[in-house]
């Protein structure tokens, strides 16, 4: 597991707690309590300390403050993916933007935790339970990474971006309605008159891959159409190329493709063009994400919008609410998850 934080140098010229106390006309212990939650501090003393801290530009020492509040003022973003995907995947980049936006009005620091393949959840669990962070947001998790079971029993509250697997009824999470999105994409292709609709599915150890495929399958089954033209791959352009090549070889009559990500769809379109197929005349293509790749594709890609920034911000807001309540659990009981609706973005590819 890799942890990454932004560390700044200490400025010895910064005002001290003693100077704030002197400027406010209170004792050092009163100033400390006022700056760390206001327990047993009168409104007058609180106002005086706040004013003195503001005038002096006082910034609390995080290490000292954590001894008083037992808080680290930091949250972890857990990404159980390899480093190369962290740097190239637009989904993870959009997640970082959403988390940063939600933390902009706070003083919380973000700690990035990368759980490399093979390390499992053990290292992440040890880190979270050791008190290094106050809470965690989990993104791009897989069925076998063990994080759901770990966090269900962890004292550190956590929120998932994306539906959990077996514990979706218990854990906090935010998601988009991927089943409805798969249905909507497939229904759109049928509405265009397409009758041989293939699906390039994402990994079936991820909830998004499972749910998008389920929506595609439901619509074809209801329409009495064949559903054998499908390949499961990872979310990347090269995987989309390989999947499309396999589909063309085994199902040359394909007239439409629903891909589980824009990267997969772009890879598919490259192979279709190389095979002399016109898009959308010969084969219509729909992707999933709308995170930048779709609008610049050739032709511009019809896609299902994935509200990643909003989902990540929602996850952080849920986590902040848990921290505000002092909840030391990831079990949500009767609190419903936050699920965003599916939305089709129409462009020239379909």
Q: What is the pLDDT of residues 188-222, one digit of tens each?
A: 999 999 999 999 999 999 999 999 999 999 999 99
Q: Which residues, 6+ apart, have CB-to-CB distance to 126 below 8 Å?
A: none
CB contact at 8 A, 337 and 175 = yes
340 CB-contact burial (10 Å; exposed 0-12 / middle 13-18 / buried 19+): middle
Q: What is the mean pLDDT of residues 303-318?
A: 94
Q: Is residue 69 scored above 50 in pLDDT?
A: no
Which pLDDT belongs to residue 73?
81
Find residue 258's DSSP bridge partners. 199, 286
Which pLDDT belongs to residue 132?
81
Q: Is residue 12 scored above 60 in pLDDT?
A: no
Q: What is the mean pLDDT of residues 100-107?
A: 85
Q: What is the pLDDT of residues 158-171, one digit of tens each?
A: 899 999 887 777 88
CA triple 36-325-32, angle to 5 deg: 5
CB contact at 8 A, 58 and 21 = no
Where do the DSSP E strands lie in 124-164?
135-139, 158-161
Mean of the per-residue pLDDT values of the chain: 85
Greater confidence, 107 or 19?
A: 19
Q: Is residue 88 scored above 70 in pLDDT?
A: yes
Q: Which percentage of the chain shows pLDDT scores above 70?
A: 86
Which pLDDT belongs to residue 312?
93
Q: What is the mean pLDDT of residues 122-133?
A: 75
Comparing 5-9, 110-114, 158-162, 186-190, which segment has the lowest mean pLDDT? 5-9
Which pLDDT belongs to residue 328?
61
Which pLDDT belongs to residue 194?
97
Which pLDDT belongs to residue 67?
40
231: left (phi over 0), alpha (psi -120 to 50) or beta: beta
Which pLDDT belongs to residue 301?
97
> Would you tell me how many other CB atoms lie within 10 Å of the CB of residue 239?
21
Which pLDDT belongs to residue 257?
98
Q: Is residue 60 scored above 60 in pLDDT?
A: yes
Q: What is the mean pLDDT of residues 127-141?
A: 83
Helical segments of the chain, H only: 17-24, 28-35, 43-56, 62-69, 83-88, 90-103, 122-129, 147-152, 178-191, 207-222, 237-250, 262-274, 293-296, 308-325
User: What does the block give as tokens for 213?
Assistant: 């495929």
Q: Give the strand pairing for 158-161 and 135-139.
A: parallel
Q: What is the pLDDT of residues 234-286, one digit of tens each?
A: 999 999 999 999 999 999 999 999 999 999 999 999 999 999 999 999 999 99
Q: What is the mean pLDDT of residues 124-139?
A: 81
Q: Is residue 327 scored above 90 in pLDDT?
A: no
Q: Is residue 11 scored above 60 in pLDDT?
A: no
What pLDDT band is residue 5 in, cutting at 50, 70 and 90? very low
Name the residue among 311, 287, 290, 297 with its Cα closest to residue 184: 287
The pTM (predicted TM-score) of the whole model is: 0.77
Which pLDDT belongs to residue 7?
36
Domains and CATH numbers, the chain: 11-49+58-68 (1.10.260), 74-176+309-340 (3.40.50.2300), 178-305 (3.40.50.2300)
Greater confidence, 283 or 330?
A: 283
Greater confidence, 111 or 335?
A: 111
């Amino acid at each position: 597991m890799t942890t990454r934080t932004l560390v700044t140098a200490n400025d010895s010229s910064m005002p001290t707690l003693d100077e704030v106390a002197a400027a406010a006309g209170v004792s050092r212990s009163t100033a400390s309590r006022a700056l760390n939650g206001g327990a047993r501090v009168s409104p007058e003393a609180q106002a005086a300390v706040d004013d003195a801290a503001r005038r002096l530009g006082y910034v609390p020492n995080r290490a000292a403050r954590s001894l008083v509040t037992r808080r680290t003022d930091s949250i972890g973003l857990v990404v159980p993916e390899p480093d190369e995907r962290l740097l190239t995947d637009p989904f993870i980049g959009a997640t970082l933007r959403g988390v940063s936006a939600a933390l902009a009005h706070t003083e919380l620091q973000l700690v990035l935790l990368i759980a490399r393949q093979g390390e499992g959840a053990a290292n992440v669990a040890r880190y979270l339970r050791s008190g290094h962070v106050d809470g965690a947001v989990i993104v791009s998790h897989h069925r076998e990474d063990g994080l759901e079971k770990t966090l269900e029993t962890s004292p550190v509250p956590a929120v998932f971006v994306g539906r959990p697997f077996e514990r979706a009824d218990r854990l906090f999470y935010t998601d988009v309605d991927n089943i409805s999105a798969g249905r909507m994409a497939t229904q759109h292709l049928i509405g265009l008159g397409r009758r041989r609709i293939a699906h390039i599915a994402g990994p079936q150890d991820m909830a998004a891959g499972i749910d998008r495929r389920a929506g595609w399958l439901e619509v074809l089954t209801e329409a009495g159409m064949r559903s054998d033209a499908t390949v499961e791959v990872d979310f990347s352009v090269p995987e989309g190329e390989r999947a499309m090549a396999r589909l063309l070889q085994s199902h040359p009559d394909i007239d439409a493709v629903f891909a589980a990500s824009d990267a997969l769809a772009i890879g598919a379109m490259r192979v279709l063009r190389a095979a002399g197929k016109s898009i959308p005349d010969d084969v219509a293509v729909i992707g999933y994400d709308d995170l930048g790749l779709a609008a610049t594709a050739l032709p511009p890609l019809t896609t299902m919008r994935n509200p990643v920034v909003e989902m990540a911000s929602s996850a952080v807001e849920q986590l902040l609410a848990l921290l505000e309540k002092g909840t030391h659990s990831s079990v949500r009981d009767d609190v419903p998850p936050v699920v965003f609706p599916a939305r089709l973005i129409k462009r020239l590819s379909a």
